[in-house]
Every structure is written in C-alpha cells, then in structure tokens.
Amino acid sequence: MIGKTISAYTDTDTATRIEWIATREHRKKAQIAGSAVKLFVNLPEEARTAWRQIEALGTPAEIEQISQDIARALLHAQYAMAHKQVIQEMTTEHLGALETEDDLLNAAVLLTR
C-alpha cells in the first residue's frame, strides 16, 4: 500500500497512549495513528459529530463507557464475520450418520486424535 504522510496534533495523553500501543503491538506510531484516522474518517458524518460532542461534553467516565460500547460493537462484528466464515467452510455431509449422542461423542473423540 502506498501511503501518504500527514501531520496531526494531539494532546500529551493521547500521544503517550499511541507510543504505548505501538510498543505493545510492535508497530510504528505512524501505523497506530493511521489506523485511528482511517477508522474515524470511515465513520458517517453524524457519528464524527457525535464523537466531537461527546469529547467536549462528556465526563471521563462517560467517555470510557462509550469507548467500551464501541469496543463491544467491534468485537461483536468480528465474531459475526468469523462465525459466518466458519459456517461457510464447515463440512456437514458426514453428520447424517450421527444418530445418537454416543455417535456424536465418538465422532468428537475421533476429531481430537
């Protein structure tokens, strides 16, 4: 991917958090900042406006709660995508032969060997 460098201003706390994340994830600070910018610009205008208002008016506890809500939504979407992929790749032809719970348990044990 060919990228473009942009300049951004942020507060000291955010800059420190970017450095911490970059160190922990073994990524460059620019990659962390770029990911954050990409997420923000992909939001609808109404969501960007709402976030600016939340930052301006919300308490730290409210902002933390909203951040947790956003994280939950992202993790839910990730799970749904993974679940869909597993279902698409799952083979079920042999399941018809499983008539009893013992058949199912035996098949499960065989899969672990």
Tens of pLDDT, residue by residue over 41-100, are 999 999 999 999 999 999 999 999 999 999 999 999 999 999 999 988 877 776 677 888
Q: Which two tokens stand for residue 96?
A: 């018809």
76-81's contacts with Cβ under 8 Å and 24+ in sequence apart are: none
Tell me what pLDDT residue 1 has: 65
43 sits in the region (left: phi over 0; alpha: psi -120 to 50; else beta) called beta
Q: Is the full-model pTM beyond 0.85?
A: no
Is residue 47 within 8 A of residue 38, CB to CB? The reply is no
Tell me what pLDDT residue 10 has: 94
Residue with tokens 């008016």: 57
